[in-house]
Structure 1
């Protein structure tokens, strides 16, 4: 397949290509007559662009329109095999990997437990898993344009290391991005996991058609992603959403809370387990055990969930006062639990007059992976066609 030479394309022609590709990625199969209506291009310009895109391997004929009298119009569709993106969700417990076409269709997906040894072992694991997926699906490695990795940490551009990834060891000590990029022979972008979950919910989840919302991922830690006026906001250093450091729940001047954050130190999974044991619950319990005990009427579990939800509600009230979102989506192992959502809903009106909907994440544990694929599609379309084509990571299909 020919690579687009966007730097040599006149501006008007490039805009025409963008409009045509955008229409196909949004709507699927289209006749040239319908395409002219959608894009507003002249039939001559539109026909020339379609002809070139067919020759380059981006579009193909998929049949003819039925039910009409006279000459039947040819139907064209986007050629999925023309270009793919790789998405990776690297969690401390689970590794999820997928390959998708530019129209968003997932071609192949796999999941396995993350190698607990971390570091270079995780790089080996990702490289091996991706290779197996390519072989199983028949995806041509050369057609994969780039990859996006969602990880709970901060990518240090100067060294390639991933900092503050407390759930994966060894990734702060090596050029993680550089080594993995060389192994996969792909340019890679490292993105924050909660930001990617936010993208995923906006694109294919419960926040479709919502231009102002926040996503809170609450599990081992707690973090937030925010879409304001239809755009994912990050801030100067990408630190928007680091609500783990809100001065809520404990003494914010205690340096012992600087590593994980004052709020996270009181509402994260480790904090819930610590409190459960302190209130008389079983030693060595997990968060899952705490919620199971709650269902069985455990007083200790009820106290832990109640206190955690109260602190989360205070954090939500702070977020609402600053961002005024229409919707809050709660995700993560803790945040998605119905008991936690119900109690946050109950506590919020007691500490804030600002009204918002609170809903559970609909994509579950796949939210970060779907968001990573969406980000890869946006970046790839920007490189190939001169536009990020924002509908794909941030706007649902019609």
Structure 2
């Protein structure tokens, strides 16, 4: 998985500030100085004590003492030397990315994807396996087994993973600790399921909607980098939208912002069938493309990918189905544009792999149906968007947790 390791400039740098006592103390000041230097080394790369002093305004003795403490805690290490034009050779220091690790997990109807990453965001082990679970318990067991195998692949001991983030369809209910509205994952809302996953992984678990995490992944590493307001349209076995504003997710009051797939539709057109009473997801997601192509006379295509392959080969029924899908997607984009007014919409998910066929007719349809027309692009991360978004989210908390834990122990 060859993607940039560091977040783009606008994404919540530093993951917050270290916990502080209620009033001023030397310990608080020292902790702040150490965190400041650690984050500077993480985001700026190796640096000397003199350069760190110049960059932070701290005195050289203060920098030296802080680096000594950080090195003793296993958070920084020497990274070689540099010989300036004048003066003595200087030792370079860098943040030790191996001080902690995180798990990112993408739970889909067809596949489970797991990545283990260090604190620099470098993926050190990964496993992708078919999701054969037909119950929530079976999926949870497979998730834990796959994640533990990936941790072993990375050569890590138990307890090395600081934080795990799981991307899933549906809406996470934090109070009940269940995922609701994940229609393609039967039993996924069973109480206690995620407590069992957390126990099996041996690390705190956070759960996020897959479209939301894909949006964060695309903002951090992909096509959404630098956008003030952008939307990620996840179209595969389901339909979801992740919204990012100023580098932060917009999830709404109950975490369901962007769940446009649940919208009940009026009749959109008369060309194929009456859609009254259907959810938008039922007429836009991958299965709908297959059904539409079959109604138009295409045979032998059981997946949306096969329909798009037939379209590339010039099959008339497949081309008509692709054009119809673009019309339906234009409605979805128009809904998002009217509510969120994004400057950019990224097309991702399984159907995003066929953006070369979908984007031209989608742009044409949008011109006919919507006054607000955001820029449309294909996902730069493809199937890795949810996984990388999970990794990026886990790192936000893990970097601070590792700092607090190690400096307390040192």
> How would you bin the TM-score normalised by the shorter chain?
0.7 to 0.9
**Alignment-derived partner of residue 350 in structure 2:** 333
Is 1:114 the equivalent of 2:131?
yes
The SS at the match of 2:174 is coil
Distance 1:308 1:247 in 2: 17
TM norm structure 2: 0.85
Q: Which moved more, 1:182-191 or 1:306-315?
A: 306-315
Picking from 34, 55, 61, the partner of 1:17 is 34
Distance 1:175 1:376 in 2: 22
Q: Show the 5 A alignment for 1:155-174.
A: 155-174=172-191
Picking from 103, 111, 134, the partner of 2:120 is 103
Shift in CA distance, 23/281, structure 1 to aligned 2, threshold 3 Å: same
Distance 2:179 2:250 in 1: 21
Picking from 240, 246, 259, the partner of 1:223 is 240
Unaligned stretches of 5+ in structure 1? 387-398
Give the Å deviation of 1:282. 1.8
Picking from 281, 286, 295, the partner of 1:264 is 281
Distance 1:124 1:84 in 2: 21
Distance 1:76 1:284 in 2: 57
Distance 2:357 2:276 in 1: 32
Distance 1:159 1:321 in 2: 32
Give the Å deviation of 1:82. 1.1
Contact kept in structure 2, 1:6 and 1:384, CA below 8 Å: no
Q: What is the total number of aligned residue pairs between the two structures?
A: 377
Distance 2:151 2:368 in 1: 53
Distance 1:79 1:218 in 2: 38
**Alignment-derived partner of residue 132 in structure 1:** 149
Distance 2:92 2:174 in 1: 45
Q: Summarize deviations over 1:61-104 as a string: whole Å, max 9, x none.
A: 12111354431111111112211111111111111111111221
Give the Å deviation of 1:155. 2.6
Give the Å deviation of 1:54. 0.9
**Alignment-derived partner of residue 392 in structure 1:** none
Give the Å deviation of 1:174. 4.5
Is 1:189 the equivalent of 2:214?
no
CA RMSD of aligned residues (A): 2.4
The SS at the match of 1:110 is strand
Unaligned stretches of 5+ in structure 2? 1-16, 269-274, 405-410
Picking from 366, 369, 374, the partner of 2:392 is 374
Shift in CA distance, 153/321, structure 1 to aligned 2, threshold 3 Å: closer
**Alignment-derived partner of residue 78 in structure 1:** 95
Give the Å deviation of 1:274. 2.0
Contact kept in structure 2, 1:216 and 1:223, CA below 8 Å: yes
Q: Summarize deviations over 1:241-284 as a string: whole Å, max 9, x none.
A: 11213455648xx9953xxxx21121112222222222222266
Q: Show the 5 A alignment for 1:21-36.
A: 21-36=38-53
**Alignment-derived partner of residue 14 in structure 2:** none
Q: Show the 5 A alignment for 1:301-316.
A: 301-316=318-333
Picking from 40, 61, 65, the partner of 1:48 is 65
Give the Å deviation of 1:356. 2.7
TM norm structure 1: 0.87
Q: Summarize deviations over 1:357-392 as a string: whole Å, max 9, x none.
A: 211101111111111010001122344558xxxxxx
